[in-house]
Amino acid sequence: MPPTPTISATVTLVASPTFAATPTQNRARGGRLTTLTQVNVPHLDVHQVVQETLASMGPGLAYSRLLRLGTGPESEYPQPSLLVECDLCESWEALDPLTYSFKLREGIRWHDVSPVNGRELVADDVAYSLERLGTPGWPNASLMRNIESIDVVDSHTLNISLAPGFPDADFMVSLSDGHAKVVAPEVVELRGDLKEAEVIGTGPWRWVSTREDVGTLLERNESYFETGLPYADELFIRVVKASDEARLAAFATGVVDVYRLPPELREPLEETGVTYSSFLSRRGGSGLALAMNTTAPPFDDLRVRQAVLLALDPWRDLDDLWSGQGFVSAGIPVRSPLWLLGEEEVRGTYLASPARARELLESIGAGSLPPLALHVGDFGDLHLEYGRSIAEDLRAVGFDIPTEPLSLTPPEYRTKVWVRGDYQIAVGPLPPTVTTNNYLLNILHSSSALNVTRHADGTLDTLIAEQATEQEPAARGEMVRQIQRRVLEQAYMVATVTAGDLWVYQRKVKGFHPNTAASEYFFWAKTWLEG
């Protein structure tokens, strides 16, 4: 892990945006909304597993959090987005750079199930849950790593203090993560844990059942504290463990209403002739990255690295191979798209200029360069095809590179590239990260064990440290843009396919605007069925 930044910050954040649901005539109530997942849940303890089928696509939807990410139409919530709003809280206030006070909404009640029996939620419940979430050794404990203490002031107020010396600008994103559930202490005390316990929350959905190889059924919480939500009567998450083709057929025949479509199935879906709507949810911190080892010749020469990036046209490949499901970036999770460099700045300057790539190689003497070894993570046929496309682009500007890249199984790829750094140039998945700081400190900082490019860049490290504690969004956004320019100027790496989830849904489904960053799931409550 890189050293903890000690930069001081002036905290100005006091706003606490909250969504208020007001059903209108064009928002129908009722019906069962059906989606699907591929796997069963391992158990029901939401604090002790990271699996999305539990946290955000299953029983975990019954729980609320202190905070959540904003979800809605692109006009209001353009993606990628880590914009935080209140869930259980009514407001928050920064008391000082290290202390935040959260005021809870009054009148929130737990689902009316024993042993909680519909009592009112209080600040002790939130404090208990966050402390349990941070249990050492548990898979979601990292969400609490920068929190020093949680103090209950009264029944509806708690103060959260950050670790001294590090007013982490992203700690609220961690609190809004889909794994940061608020659970009922009585249930844990009765059962010892939540693995086989009743799922009792305060969320818009009440848990009905979870059955192996069948799925999870949730029903509307009629006592939910945000009037009018959820719009559907039931949400059914069906388990379909068979092939991609079987899942596609389930959508095409109307068995499921909503389906997260893999890129390779976009064309087969079109061939079915089914009419559907779609939404592309974009997020940083995951996807595919092309990285170069700055300590392995010839990539210790900046000009060689720059020529590689200039030879590539990732926007073309996004359209041709990935069905437009993603975007090009430095991979960083960001608060809003305004924090990203636009294509107009990046194209031709850092990427997608073969003529400039040839000029650089001529200035070096391309004939003097040794053959290059391109390693590609074998995470499926599409990844291997993408590796071939990259190899073709590199050969076209003068690099000596084999037609068929060197494929590595997923374990081999992780070990060879991310652990040992035993490679020249590689393309494969990024280790998933959620927050801006998590990505910058753990993947781009020189001292991190996950510094896959093996660079030693004091300028970049200073920029990372400065933004880590900046609370003013516009100022921090400009710092993050400077970091992206530095990474591209030095040609360390580029996230050629930053993650995008293409959701397809039946025409009767309305108001569906998923934001899947940080395992967000509240968008299901805002979705309705027409007719």
Give per-residue pLDDT as tens, 319-328.
999 999 999 9
**Residue 167: what pLDDT?**
79
Task: Clarify whether residues 121 and 222 are in a common domain.
Answer: yes
Rounded Cα–Cα distance for residues 390 and 375 (Å): 11
Question: What pLDDT sits at residue 236?
Answer: 98
What's the confidence (pLDDT) of residue 165? 79
C-beta of residue 455 within 8 angstroms of C-beta of residue 493: no
Q: Please report whether residue 406 resides in a domain.
A: yes
Domain with 329 in it: what CATH number? 3.10.105.10
State how far the Cα of 328 lies from the Cα of 316, in Å rounded to an integer: 11
Q: What is the mean pLDDT of residues 44-62?
A: 96
What average pLDDT does the segment 96-119 reach?
97
The number of CA neighbours under 13 Å toward the Cβ of 405 is 29
When divided into structural domains, the chain yields a total of 2
Q: Is 144 helix (H, G, I), strand (E, B) or coil?
A: helix
| β-pairing verdict for 493-505 and 277-292 | antiparallel
**Sheet containing strand 89-96, strands side by side:** 89-96, 99-104, 157-162, 147-154
Residue 442: DSSP 8-state:
I
In the chain, what is the greatest distance between 2 CA atoms, to the nearest angstrom?
76
Q: What is the mean pLDDT of residues 490-500?
A: 95
The three-state secondary structure class of 413 is helix
**C-alpha neighbours within 13 Å on the C-beta side of residue 281:** 24
Beta carbons within 8 Å of 142's beta carbon, 6+ residues apart: none
Helices 354-364 & 302-311 angle (0-180, nearest 10): 150
Q: Based on the domain organization, do 489 and 525 belong to the same domain?
A: no
Closest by Cα among 462, 414, 465 to 436: 465
Using a 10 angstrom Cβ sphere, with 0-12 exposed, 13-18 middle and 19 or more buried, the burial of residue 367 is exposed
At 531 the pLDDT is 74
d(CA 412, CA 390): 20
Tokens of 130: 């966050």
- The arithmetic mean of pLDDT across residues 250-267, rounded, is 95
CATH number at residue 185: 3.40.190.10
Flag whether 27 is in a domain: no
Same domain? 158 vs 228: yes
Weakest mean pLDDT among 146-150, 368-372, 382-386, 493-497: 368-372
Residue 211 burial (CB count, 10 A): 10
Mean pLDDT of 204-228: 97
CB 331 within 8 A of CB 495: yes
pLDDT of res. 463: 97
Q: Is residue 372 part of a domain?
A: yes
Same domain flag for 230 and 153: yes
The pTM of this model reads 0.92
Task: Please tell me whether residues 255 and 330 are part of one structural domain.
Answer: no
Whether 272 maps to a domain, the answer reads: no
> How confident is the model over 111-129, as pLDDT tens digits?
999 999 999 999 999 999 9
Peptide bond into 411 cis (omega under 30): no
- Closest residue by Cα to residue 14 from 113, 96, 76: 96
Q: What is the pLDDT of residues 4-24, one digit of tens each?
A: 333 333 233 334 444 444 444
Q: What pLDDT does residue 432 have?
A: 87
State the DSSP code for 462. H
Strands (E) in 387-440, as ranges, are 406-408, 425-429
In three state form, how does the secondary structure of 471-507 look?
CCHHHHHHHHHHHHHHHHHCCCEEEEEEEEEEEEECC
Do 378 and 478 share a structural domain? yes
At 49, list the tokens: 């597993």
Q: Is residue 20 domain-resident? A: no
Question: How confident is residue 403, by pLDDT bands cut at 50, 70 and 90?
Answer: confident
Beta strands 147-154 and 157-162: pairing type? Answer: antiparallel
Q: In this structure, are 487 and 519 located in the same domain?
A: no
Are both 255 and 286 inside the same structural domain?
no
CA dihedral 106, 112, 118, 124 (to 10 degrees): -80
Answer whether residue 43 is part of any domain.
yes
- Report the share of the chain in percent with pLDDT over 90: 91
Tell me if 434 is assigned to some domain.
yes
Check residue 27 and give its pLDDT.
72
Q: Please give the average per-residue pLDDT across 495-503, as a whole number.
A: 93
Q: Are 176 and 67 in contact (CB under 8 A)?
A: yes
On the CB side of 1, CA atoms within 13 Å amount to 7
Tell me: pLDDT of 2 over 50.
no
Our separate counts of H helices and E strands in the chain read 15, 19
- CA-based nearest residue to 444, from 423, 461, 426: 461
The domain in which residue 483 lies consists of 282-500
Domain annotation covers residue 153: yes
pLDDT of residue 13: 36
Starting at the edge strand found earlier in the chain, the sheet holding 215-220 runs 32-37, 234-239, 215-220, 205-211
Task: Please choose, from the candidates 361, 293, 347, 48, the residue with its C-alpha nearest in 3D space to the C-alpha of residue 181.
Answer: 48
287 and 225 fall within a common domain: no
**241, 172: one domain:** yes
In whole angstroms, how far apart are CA 205 and each of 208, 342, 506, 522, 524? 9, 39, 22, 10, 10
- Other C-beta atoms closer than 10 Å to the C-beta of 488 total 21
Burial class (CB in 10 A: 0-12, 13-18, 19+), 156: buried
The percentage of the chain sitting over the pLDDT mark of 70, rounded to a whole number, equals 95
pLDDT band for position 26 (cuts 50, 70, 90):
low
Q: What is the residue type of 376?
A: V
Average pLDDT score, the chain: 93
Count the neighbouring beta carbons within 10 Å of the beta carbon of residue 138. 17
Q: Are 452 and 425 in contact (CB under 8 A)?
A: no
Q: Judge if 513 and 482 occupy the same domain.
A: no
Do 65 and 146 lie in one domain? The reply is yes
